[in-house]
Amino acid sequence: VIFVEGGSQDGTWEEIERVGREVVGPYPIRAFQQPGQGKCDAVRHGFAQARNELLVILDADMTMPPEL
């Protein structure tokens, strides 16, 4: 699971760090702070860090169907 944080001022980065420390599961949590600006840059950065075959983009204002 990859999180790319883009300069939020609402404590998002701290929450990502907390979850990364506390959540144990079958998939490692990797987090990055976005070096550029904008969603396209964040997506490119996340894809560049990916190591497996499945890529899913989930924004904060989206929901995922249970079957995914």
pLDDT tens column, 3-47: 999 888 899 899 999 999 998 888 888 999 987 788 889 899 999
Question: In this predicted structure, what is the pLDDT of residue 50?
Answer: 92
Threshold 0.85, pTM exceeds: no
Beta bridge partners, 30, equal 2
**CA separation for the pair 28, 31 (Å, rounded):** 10
Helices (H), the chain: 12-22, 39-49
